[in-house]
Structure 1
């Protein structure tokens, strides 16, 4: 075990990672701009501005692993993503820690194969995709020991801004589901508690890896129809399904930056895609993911 600081610990991946590391016996510091409600013991908290290199370098001293779960709002990516990344790089160089990044699928863009692997070329077709490529390459080029664990859209519990919780399953307990694309296309999903557990196990093997190592987290590959069926089984309710009003979203995007950034990601619901998890399976042969039916029960339990 060791010491880990989780940056952006109030966010979705950060919160899940802090809990997973603590459950595995690590000493965990959860870092955020402010804490109105602290996480449960034994997780400790620290406050600070993640965009300030000096603040972050001081916070990360003495840690073995830095989880970079910093994730600015969509509309602030251009302003904040790279300054935050550079601050983390500075902190990692000063501390000698390994950085773990929860990667997403934006790097691949709208063209290319259906199966996305660690060797699939990055050809982003959106602003956010290009920023993610720039960010990951910054870690690679800086020589900072880095592990990227890349997964699809998150599934987790509670009310979050994820596609699953905030849009698709928002009213599922009332028998209503919204699905953003054609229901016959496969889509990559990652159950967040599982992905966080995998990150912990990779951290425990970090000395075995190259300076920059990438792993695909395959999670669940489901068509829209299969996801809706799983939601129906978990809730015990037949779901009335509506579509995402993409034309309205694009119209709103003329006046609202957040709507414009969300609208840019429509392609991910139109192209069939799945993550290749074979490298992760070879590296963590004993890792077991939660069955999809159980994950749905847990994710929808509090609705």
Structure 2
């Protein structure tokens, strides 16, 4: 008999990949429909993946606590384990590599919101609710247009330009979503071996904009140039544009070198193999037009 997972937010970046990864691992996958009763949807589920997130950072201060409370209530009613994709906002500018023992000292409002969210999950775990928090850096997914890499950094790639959000040599953590979702399914399968609270970093890939430029230049056979993202434009738009205002608050992350500690997940999933840097780059190469056949004249 297969295990059953309920995926909240299955149309989003992580949720979509999680649903596919659990299905590939042999799980029965249910997709939660927004606006329906979450507790009823969770009935009979072994695991709930809480990938719900307000789009474009909208009203995080009120919506994140609501989503957290609803997911915990559904998990308590069904007896399911909760699996939550975490981010790196909670660490602020702490020295890395970041992991479970790194102090949570956020420097942005959204980081503080996530600290409170994680505290709520830890409190629930202390009362017996199993929670697995799988923490990744910036999402990478060549099939999703809604990642910073595709929306901003590689937007001008076909024209020979890469956009740096900070200094080009700053190393940053990235999570290849197909791999992070596979790791989530693998950890869920091992939930009986895990404690009530697990904070597991997904190290993924760590690279700079310069590394990105050098790798893509090599693969494309051309010298790509790096331009700077116009943060001044977001400052002008911030009073009138919610997403611009929220992105501006996270500028510090593009100036803060960081990586995630691979050791905790390696201990749990020693055979897990993730994508390599070149494979990730190749998946983001611009599509090339198909060659036009040259008609051959009969002699």
TM-score, normalisation: structure 2? 0.90
- Kindly state the Cα deviation for residue 236 of structure 1 after the two structures are TM-superposed: 4.5
1 CA distance for matches of 2:233 and 2:180? Answer: 33
Q: Give SS of 1:116's match.
A: coil
1:199 paired with 2:181, answer no
* Unmatched runs of 5 consecutive residues or more in structure 1: 32-46
- Kindly state the Cα deviation for residue 290 of structure 1 after the two structures are TM-superposed: 1.2
RMSD across aligned positions (CA): 1.6
Q: Could you tell me which of 159, 162, 165 is aligned with 1:180?
A: 165
Matching residue of 2:216: 231
1:5 paired with 2:6, answer yes
- Kindly state the Cα deviation for residue 266 of structure 1 after the two structures are TM-superposed: 0.5
* 1:150-174 C-alpha deviation (Å, 9 max, x unpaired): 1110111134221111111123233
Q: Could you tell me which of 64, 69, 74 is aligned with 2:51?
A: 69
Contact 1:173 1:235 in 2 (8 A): no
1 CA distance for matches of 2:233 and 2:156? Answer: 20
Matching residue of 2:21: 20
Count, aligned residues: 283
Q: Could you tell me which of 257, 266, 277 is aligned with 2:262?
A: 277
Higher Cα Rg, which structure:
2
Matching residue of 1:124: 106
Task: Map residues 222-301 of structure 1 onto 2, 5 A cutoff.
Answer: 222-300=207-285
- Kindly state the Cα deviation for residue 183 of structure 1 after the two structures are TM-superposed: 1.0
1 CA distance for matches of 2:104 and 2:147? Answer: 24
Matching residue of 2:63: 80
Contact 2:13 2:144 in 1 (8 A): no
1:243/1:56 Cα in 2 relative to 1: closer, same or farther (>3 Å)? Answer: same
Contact 1:63 1:97 in 2 (8 A): yes
1 CA distance for matches of 2:59 and 2:274? Answer: 33
Contact 1:250 1:263 in 2 (8 A): yes
2 CA distance for matches of 1:176 and 1:168? Answer: 9
* 1:200-246 C-alpha deviation (Å, 9 max, x unpaired): 11001011111110111111111220022233345454323211111
